Amino acid sequence: MSDSNLPGTDLLETVLEPLLEDFQHWFTRSRHLLETEQLSFMSHQEQSDLLLRVKQAQDELNTAKMLFTATDKQVGIDMATLMPWHQLVTECWNVAMRFRQAREA
């Protein structure tokens, strides 16, 4: 970041707010894929389990965003919360990539 002297609130707004929006974007896309497509490389149970985890992460994310907004962007989010979301987004990216490859084959 170019200005390391940003006050804490500005830093949270600059870094955390776009990160939360990115998570929202990828969870929404992943949920749509999992709800509308039958993925040939996953069992029905695997797909349902992944969809359930995406929905749960969306609920957690919505709660975190509400808290962030309600506190006038004064509250951060622990890395222990962010890392599972990041891992889930990565898993969803891999599923989407496999889906695209399967469609192209």
50: burial class by Cβ within 10 Å (0-12, 13-18, 19+)? buried
For the stretch 29-54, pLDDT in tens is: 999 999 999 999 999 999 999 999 99
Q: Which residues of the chain have pLDDT under 50?
A: 1-6
Instruction: Report the candidate in 23, 34, 7 with the shortest Cα–Cα distance to residue 96.
Output: 34
Q: Tell me, what's the pLDDT at 31? A: 98
Tokens 């929404």 found at: 28
Could you tell me the CA-to-CA distances from 54 to 11, 19, 28, 64, 90 in Å, in that order?
27, 16, 9, 15, 12
Q: Tell me, what's the pLDDT at 7? A: 54
Distance CA 61, CA 68 (A): 10
